[in-house]
């Protein structure tokens, strides 16, 4: 059986089933079925007569023994047919290929059953209680692991585990059933959706049902009795009936996954059928009608019985039996909560990164020709055989990295860390790449490659690299050490020196040898985004809302840095990135941009520091004096907002012409007039900055952040963002009042 979400662009061929056949079930959960398509939709709207008939059948069909009497022979006949998987005439449910893919996607996921499953065979009340508690904890671990991996990492779980006594009865926890002495009445556990607003759990909230018995195997072999299959179908039928009659359930699917578990093993059943074909006329004997409906119009897919718990009572999470349970529950959750935010295919794609990390841990690197082992030399350095293709032909000592290359960094604080290059990012005069950390491969990072210390004198290009790596490392460390951290500022992930190839003959840990890359600095930061220059090139003009959002985000960053007496000094299109985030849930979400000023290497920390000079976006004070005034960064933001909203800026070829353009634009109020057509708030901010240009007065970031937040979030939904920024400002004020100061 090939299930839609698991494939997601991967090979969708049927593959060999677990029983060795190539039979493929037609019972496929597609995107449409998960979103709510059902068998009952074939005769929707449902007449009152049909509703009444289904309700009557659900009320009368309560005798499990009588239900089994009508079906047992048919089930036994199907089970007895020759089959390598032991399920005979029933269709196979999952292929080994599907289970392998899920196993690979779940590498490293911390499933944890805390209550061990007792393996004793005694039928005492005490052991049964322990077994039920263990089964409950096992299902809870399954729900938690799958939801946190594929849907949401945090927040409340949408499912819980609860137990009924019989169809139509109330649900309760295992502990409550034990305290009331009713555990013997329990026949299984349900995975319950929490979507209902009612405090009482009803059968139409059952997402998946597990029949649990201390011993379901026949003769200690991996075979299950016909009675047990009938019992599972009995509860499955009641789940389908309850869903069809529900006034609150949003799931009308004609299929349900059923688990059959004992204290050692388990199997999965998928029970599918169109209730519209159920003969409701035989009200005197509903058992016969339901049995005929099951034999004729339903499809029953069953997995082989496989071990789940080992001899210590722990689940074998990576084995076939447990993977069958995980895969069935995965589709049950998707049936109720929609497609996962992370697909199986996307998690499988991370396998190569995990493999590279393992190879690095095992002291192996990959070259074009072969796997080459590292050699451990004196000083604790990891060095590798020379790879000439890593160096550029134009620069003898300039490293040329490509997709897939692994770079080892020696961080004084964190030790050696490995990063895999993803792609080269356009970054002006410095070498900037996106990369992943092999220890945490889920997020992309920015990796700056600096210049060798010996090349800082002859090359201005290499001096620019020094600003982007060594100087920016210093600035970001100052902000971090003073507790100034927020999502609008880049954050250091690692910094240090590259571990170069070949033998290292340096005399001290802080020294360097004659290798052209020994001592070369590396800086790794987060987040990664698209440079504003690229965004403007592709999208041309920004809307008023996006321009206000950009202004707000940049001012948050500048306000935070100002607490440590740090000014950016190089605000331009290349040094602001846009990060697009998804907001909302899996069914209803939208994209929202966030803007982060990066490249803080030219930041001004004290009077002797000089900012970068940009003819298009530098402040007038910076162009004229080579220094910043308190409002210089804000003035640069005004020029950027003016430009991205369609303002005309002629290309300047000298500092004199750039100053002349600024003088004329402010004198004629060209900037304010244009921004006034975009937003009155942006025009007001431009007027405010104009009044501060060249003066020693600081920018009042707080008042303008409040106004910009109101505009960004809207009057009806502004509270959340204002509260977030207010908390951030209070934290930063605390850092400011703690007595710390910039260098």
* CB 659 within 8 Å of CB 623: yes
Task: For residue 31, give both structure tokens.
Answer: 């995107």
Per residue in 524-581, pLDDT (tens digit) is 999 999 899 888 888 778 999 999 999 999 999 999 999 999 999 999 999 999 998 7
328 lies in the same domain as 393: no
CA distance 399 to 418: 16
Given 505, 528, 551, the domain boundary residue is 528
User: Residue 366: pLDDT band by 50, 70, 90 thresholds?
Assistant: very low
Highest mean pLDDT of the ranges 62-76, 194-208, 392-406, 623-637: 623-637
171 lies in the same domain as 212: yes
Parallel/antiparallel/unpaired status of strands 255-261 and 206-212:
parallel
**What's the pTM value of the predicted model, to 2 decimals?**
0.50
CA distance 264 to 270: 21
674 lies in the same domain as 552: yes
Residue 29 inside a domain? The answer is no
Given 494, 528, 562, the domain boundary residue is 528
Residue 61 inside a domain? The answer is yes
Q: Write down the pLDDT at residue 20.
A: 33
More confident residue, 369 or 162: 162
574 lies in the same domain as 499: no
Q: Mean of the pLDDT values across residues 288-295?
A: 90
Residue 30 inside a domain? The answer is no
Residue 35 has pLDDT above 80, yes or no: no
Q: Write down the pLDDT at residue 77.
A: 87
Q: Write down the pLDDT at residue 352.
A: 60
More confident residue, 60 or 372: 60
Parallel/antiparallel/unpaired status of strands 265-273 and 306-307:
antiparallel
The domain in which residue 395 lies consists of 350-528
User: Residue 1: pLDDT band by 50, 70, 90 thresholds?
Assistant: very low
User: Residue 459: pLDDT band by 50, 70, 90 thresholds?
Assistant: very low
Residue 33 inside a domain? The answer is no
CA distance 180 to 182: 6
372 lies in the same domain as 245: no
User: Residue 720: pLDDT band by 50, 70, 90 thresholds?
Assistant: very low
Residue 390 has pLDDT above 50, yes or no: no
Q: Write down the pLDDT at residue 324.
A: 94
Residue 325 inside a domain? The answer is yes
Q: Which residues contact 738 (CB under 8 A, 6 or more apart)?
A: none
265 lies in the same domain as 212: yes
Per residue in 152-209, pLDDT (tens digit) is 888 888 888 888 876 766 777 788 878 877 777 777 888 988 876 666 777 888 899 9
Q: Would the CA dihedral through 446, 452, 453, 455 be positive or negative?
A: negative
User: Residue 519: pLDDT band by 50, 70, 90 thresholds?
Assistant: confident
Q: Write down the pLDDT at residue 503.
A: 72
Residue 26 inside a domain? The answer is no
Q: Write down the pLDDT at residue 520.
A: 82
Residue 657 inside a domain? The answer is yes
CA distance 303 to 18: 8
Parallel/antiparallel/unpaired status of strands 265-273 and 440-449:
unpaired
243 lies in the same domain as 113: yes
Domain count, the chain: 3
Q: Mean of the pLDDT values across residues 25-36?
A: 35
Given 502, 528, 554, the domain boundary residue is 528
Residue 371 has pLDDT above 60, yes or no: no
How does the average pLDDT of the chain come out, rounded? 78
DSSP string, 61-113: ---HHHHHHHHHHHHHHHHHS--TTS-TTSBP--BHHHHHHHHHHTTT-----
More confident residue, 218 or 720: 218
Per residue in 632-646, pLDDT (tens digit) is 999 999 999 999 999
333 lies in the same domain as 377: no
Q: Mean of the pLDDT values across residues 675-684?
A: 95
- What CATH number does the domain containing 702 carry? 1.10.510.10
Closest among 315, 303, 291 to 135, alpha carbons compared:
315
Q: Write down the pLDDT at residue 43.
A: 34
Residue 112 has pLDDT above 70, yes or no: yes
140 lies in the same domain as 267: yes
Range in 90-99, 190-199, 281-290 the model is least confident about? 190-199
CA distances in angstroms from 322 to 111, 159, 215, listed in the order given: 11, 19, 17
- What CATH number does the domain containing 379 carry? 3.30.200.20
User: Residue 11: pLDDT band by 50, 70, 90 thresholds?
Assistant: very low
Omega cis (within 30) before 476: no
Residue 473 has pLDDT above 90, yes or no: yes
505 lies in the same domain as 576: no
Range in 31-35, 357-361, 505-509, 547-551 the model is least confident about? 31-35
672 lies in the same domain as 724: yes
Residue 34 inside a domain? The answer is no
Per residue in 210-245, pLDDT (tens digit) is 998 766 665 556 678 888 899 999 999 988 888 888
236 lies in the same domain as 336: yes
Could you give the dihedral angle defined by the CA atoms of residues 426, 428, 429 and 434, in that order, rounded to the nearest 10 degrees? Answer: -30
Range in 33-42, 251-260, 340-349 the model is least confident about? 33-42
Q: Write down the pLDDT at residue 387.
A: 40
């Amino acid at each position: 059986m090939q299930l839609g979400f698991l494939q997601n662009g991967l090979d969708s061929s049927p593959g060999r089933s677990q029983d060795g056949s190539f039979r493929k079930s037609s019972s496929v959960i597609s995107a449409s079925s998960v979103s709510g398509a059902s068998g009952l939709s074939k005769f929707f709207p449902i007449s009152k007569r049909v509703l009444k008939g289904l309700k009557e059948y659900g009320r009368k069909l309560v005798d499990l023994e009588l239900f089994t009497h009508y079906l047992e022979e048919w089930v036994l006949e199907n089970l007895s047919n020759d089959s390598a998987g032991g399920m005979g005439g029933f269709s196979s449910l999952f292929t080994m290929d599907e289970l392998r893919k899920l196993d690979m996607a779940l590498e490293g996921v911390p499933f944890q059953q805390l209550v061990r499953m007792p393996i004793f065979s005694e039928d005492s009340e005490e052991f049964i209680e322990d077994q039920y508690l263990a089964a409950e904890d096992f299902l809870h671990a399954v729900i938690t692991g799958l939801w946190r991996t594929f849907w949401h990492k945090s927040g409340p779980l949408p499912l819980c585990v609860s137990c009924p006594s019989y169809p139509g009865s109330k649900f309760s926890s295992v502990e409550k059933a034990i305290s009331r002495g009713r555990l013997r009445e329990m026949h299984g556990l349900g995975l319950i959706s929490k979507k209902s607003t009612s405090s009482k759990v009803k059968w139409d909230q059952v997402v998946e049902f597990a029949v649990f018995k201390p011993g379901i195997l026949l003769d200690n072999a991996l075979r299950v009795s016909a009675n047990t299959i009938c019992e599972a179908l009995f509860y499955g039928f009641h789940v389908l009936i309850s869903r069809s009659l529900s006034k609150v359930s949003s799931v009308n699917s004609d299929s349900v996954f059923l688990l059959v578990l004992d204290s050692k093993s388990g199997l999965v059943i998928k029970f599918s059928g169109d209730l519209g074909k159920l003969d409701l006329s035989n009200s005197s004997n509903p058992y016969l009608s339901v049995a005929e409906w099951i034999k004729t119009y339903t499809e029953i897919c069953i997995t082989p019985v496989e071990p789940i718990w080992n001899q210590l009572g722990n689940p074998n999470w990576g084995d076939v039996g447990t993977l069958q349970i995980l895969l069935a529950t995965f589709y049950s959750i998707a049936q109720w909560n929609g497609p996962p935010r992370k697909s199986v295919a996307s998690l499988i794609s991370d396998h190569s990164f995990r493999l590279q990390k393992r190879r690095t841990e095992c002291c192996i690197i990959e070259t074009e020709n072969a796997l080459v082992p590292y050699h451990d030399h004196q000083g604790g350095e990891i060095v590798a055989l020379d790879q000439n293709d890593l160096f550029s032909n134009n620069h003898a000592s300039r490293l040329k990295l490509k997709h897939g290359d692994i770079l080892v960094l020696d961080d004084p604080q964190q030790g050696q860390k490995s990063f895999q290059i993803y792609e080269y990012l356009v970054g002006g005069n410095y070498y900037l790449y996106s990369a992943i950390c092999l220890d945490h491969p889920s997020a992309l990072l920015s990796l700056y490659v600096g210049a060798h210390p010996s090349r800082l004198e002859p090359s201005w290009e290499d001096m620019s690299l020094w600003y982007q790596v060594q100087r920016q490392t210093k600035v970001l460390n100052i902000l971090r050490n003073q507790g100034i951290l927020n999502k609008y500022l880049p954050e250091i992930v690692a910094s240090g020196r590259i571990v170069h190839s070949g033998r290292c003959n340096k005399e001290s840990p802080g020294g360097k040898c004659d290798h052209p890359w020994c001592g070369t600095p590396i800086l790794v930061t987060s987040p990664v985004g698209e440079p504003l220059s690229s965004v403007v090139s592709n999208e041309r003009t920004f809307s008023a809302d996006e321009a206000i959002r950009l202004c707000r985000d940049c001012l948050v960053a500048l306000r935070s840095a100002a607490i440590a007496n740090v000014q950016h000094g190089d605000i331009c299109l290349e040094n602001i990135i846009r990060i697009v985030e998804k907001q909302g849930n899996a069914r209803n979400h939208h994209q929202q941009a966030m803007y982060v000023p990066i490249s803080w290497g030219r930041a001004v920390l004290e009077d002797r520091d000089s900012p970068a000079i940009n003819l298009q976006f530098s402040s007038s004070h910076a162009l004229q004096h080579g220094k910043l005034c308190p409002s210089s960064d804000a003035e640069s933001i005004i020029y950027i907002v003016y430009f991205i909203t369609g303002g005309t800026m002629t290309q300047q070829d000298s500092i004199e012409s750039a100053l002349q353009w600024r003088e004329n634009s402010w004198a004629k109020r060209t900037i304010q007039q244009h921004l006034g057509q975009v937003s009155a708030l942006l025009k007001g901010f431009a007027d405010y900055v104009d009044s501060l240009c060249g003066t020693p007065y600081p920018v009042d970031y707080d008042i303008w952040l409040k106004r910009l937040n109101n505009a960004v979030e809207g009057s009806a939904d502004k509270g959340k963002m204002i509260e977030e920024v207010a908390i951030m400002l209070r934290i930063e004020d605390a850092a400011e009042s703690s007595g710390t100061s910039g260098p």
